[in-house]
Amino acid sequence: MENKIIEKDFGDLALNMGPQHPSTHGVFRLKLHLEGEKINRVESYLGYLHRGVEKLTENLDYDMIPPVLERDDYLSPTSNSLGFINTIEEMCNIEVPKRASYLRVLIAELQRISSHLVALGTYGLDLGGALGGGASLFLYCFREREKILDVLEVITGTRFHTNMNQVGGVRYDVNDESLNKIKDLINYLKPKLNEYYNVISNDEIFMKRTKNIGIITKELVMSSGGSGPVARGSGINYDIRKNNSYEIYDELSFEIPIGKNGDSYDRTMVRMRETIESIKIIEQILEKLPEGALCSRKPLKSAKLLKPPKGSHYKAIESPRGELGFFIVSDGTSMPYRMKIRAPSFSNLSIVEKLLPETYIADAVVILGSLDPVFGDVDR
């Protein structure tokens, strides 16, 4: 009697990546349906960091909200409060002193560099042996970031959640000592950032792991609402600092880095070139910083509660991850009737279910890291 091999389709293999996996850049779960090492289908699960911050704002006065929002995108805290107060200032027609606006941009750009350094350093770990052994790049990037946090501490008294921004202006000023520290920091960072850019742009292992991996087309970016370096890496020339300028960005000269292929390599290069442009912005701020008041409102202890007119308003800024927008509905009281945050990490992350199929397990980590998601920004 002949031996017959009975073939049976057992279906694909489901592999969980997360929610505790170190390469998920936060608490995130990907369920990868595999055929061998090839990914056939992806399911993503969010919400592990959901804190209900949008609902929380309905029970807080407007002036109490900015420090709470700084915990969303926790790699660029000041961007969260800046987007919110810009929206409120437009709703209430509140003017901001020029010096305060310059200081807001100064802190925002320092944190943009800090955020992109974290993105690059952790990306080195994602890629394993690439980029100087991975761990080496991570330590170098965090060394430079520590120097930025030291300067933020000199200016605001805290290293991370600066609480710099308030409706109508800023809380903290700079003096000769802090300005000199910022200048020393810039003189230190400029050659370092250029060196890192040159090293990774020519690293053979890095290029093999990232070039033509995770290509995001312009059509996919636009249909998914992608923005920031993810969109610019795909060749979309859109940066809110230029296209819909806010604060004093229209008074400053800087370039918007653009990629060509939309792959993981281009997205990383865009972020690194952005850090160099942020250095240029900070140099101009130090050169042009005007004298004047820090806030157009009375001290908060004696100020009246903010009560924006009834209606709704949306405004967005350019965070390190893209378009960070705030849609606020006012009922005329001192608390928002409703607030919705348009988080760039959420929109950028929505691309993964379309992007990962037909790639391999090893590439999944590379692609996810190239999107630079922050899960406090995703889940809120």
The whole-angstrom separation of Cα 178 and Cα 233 is 35
Residue 7 pLDDT more than 50? no
Residue 4 pLDDT more than 60? no
**Structural domains of the chain, count:** 1
**Residue 127 in domain:** yes
Contact criterion met (CB below 8 Å) for 107 and 118: no
Quickly state the pLDDT bin for 1 (edges 50, 70, 90): very low
CATH of the domain at 256: 1.10.645.10
Q: Bigger pLDDT: 126 or 1?
A: 126
Q: For 182-222, how does the pLDDT look when each residue is reduced to its tens digit (9 = 90+)?
A: 999 999 999 999 888 888 888 788 888 888 988 999 999 99
108 three-state secondary structure? helix
Quickly state the pLDDT bin for 229 (edges 50, 70, 90): very high
For residue 116, what pLDDT is reported?
Answer: 92
Q: What is the mean pLDDT of the chain?
A: 87
Residue 122 pLDDT more than 80? yes
Q: Bigger pLDDT: 378 or 19?
A: 378
328 three-state secondary structure? strand
**Residue 5 in domain:** no
Give the burial string for 224-256 (b: 16+ CB within 10 Å, else e).
bbbbbbbbbbbbbebbbbeeeebbbbeebebeb
Lowest average pLDDT, out of 83-87, 129-133, 253-257, 329-333, goes to 129-133
Q: Bigger pLDDT: 238 or 137?
A: 238
- What's the mean pLDDT in 34-60? 87
Percent of the chain surpassing pLDDT 70: 93
The whole-angstrom separation of Cα 169 and Cα 96 is 6
Q: Which one-letter DSSP state was computed for residue 151?
A: H
For residue 8, what pLDDT is reported?
Answer: 43
Q: E strands of 243-310, at which residues?
A: none
Give the burial string for 81-91 (b: 16+ CB within 10 Å, else e).
bbbbbbbbbeb
Lowest average pLDDT, out of 92-101, 206-215, 320-329, goes to 206-215
What is the sign, positive or negative, of the torsion defined by CA atoms of 293, 242, 114, 361? positive
- What's the mean pLDDT in 239-247? 91
**Residue 199 in domain:** yes
Quickly state the pLDDT bin for 26 (edges 50, 70, 90): confident
What would you report as the CA-atom Rg of the chain, rounded to the nearest whole angstrom? 22
- What's the mean pLDDT in 305-331? 92
Report residue 110: phi and psi, to 5°.
-60, -40
**Residue 41 in domain:** yes
Print the domain residue range for 129.
13-379
For residue 152, what pLDDT is reported?
Answer: 92
For residue 284, what pLDDT is reported?
Answer: 95
Number of other CB atoms surrounding residue 135 within 10 Å: 13
Q: Which amino acid is at 219?
A: E
Tokens found for residue 297: 């409102």
Q: Which one-letter DSSP state was computed for residue 263?
A: S
pTM score of the predicted model: 0.90
For residue 22, what pLDDT is reported?
Answer: 64
Quickly state the pLDDT bin for 365 (edges 50, 70, 90): confident
* 137 contact partners, CB below 8 Å, separation of at least 6: 120, 121, 124, 131, 196
Lowest average pLDDT, out of 8-17, 94-103, 226-235, 255-264, goes to 8-17
**Residue 7 in domain:** no
Residue 129 pLDDT more than 80? no
How far CA 319 is from CA of 67, 76, 225, 241, in Å, comes to 17, 8, 15, 10
Q: Which one-letter DSSP state was computed for residue 251?
A: G
Quickly state the pLDDT bin for 341 (edges 50, 70, 90): very high
**Residue 68 in domain:** yes
Tokens found for residue 236: 């979309």
Number of other CB atoms surrounding residue 47 within 10 Å: 13
**Residue 3 in domain:** no
